[in-house]
Amino acid sequence: MAAGGFCKLPNGSVVVALNLPYDSAAVRVLVHAQNRARALTRLRNLGLRAIYLRGNAAPPTPDEITAVLHHPDGLIWRTAPADNGVMVNELWHPIRTLLRRPPAIPQP
């Protein structure tokens, strides 16, 4: 389960924002889709199985909406803000960089 929220856009689509635990920190993931169910399905199809959105406690900001709408995949992430609300000056990354596994070590 993760904190997050959504914003419905004028064209009927939605942007879903989720704060997810990752290693010892947290990441903020943004998904653009036709509806909330499809947004969560996109994440589940990538292997993030235990993703639920209950409530609207942390909806995406206007800057986050702009970022995800301008990304060709409509699925981006960056380090989540600290508990004190201080934002990290970090660029948005495509989701594939988060899910990338370390290269396999060749067997002799």
Tell me the two tokens of residue 35. Answer: 């509806």
pTM comes to: 0.81
pLDDT per residue over 28-63, tens digit each?
Answer: 899 999 999 999 999 899 888 778 888 888 899 999
pLDDT score, position 1:
46
pLDDT digits over 13-27, tens only? 999 999 888 777 788
The single-letter DSSP state of residue 1 is -
DSSP states along 12-60: S-EEEEEEEEETTEEEEEEEEESSHHHHHHHHHHTT--S----S-SSPP
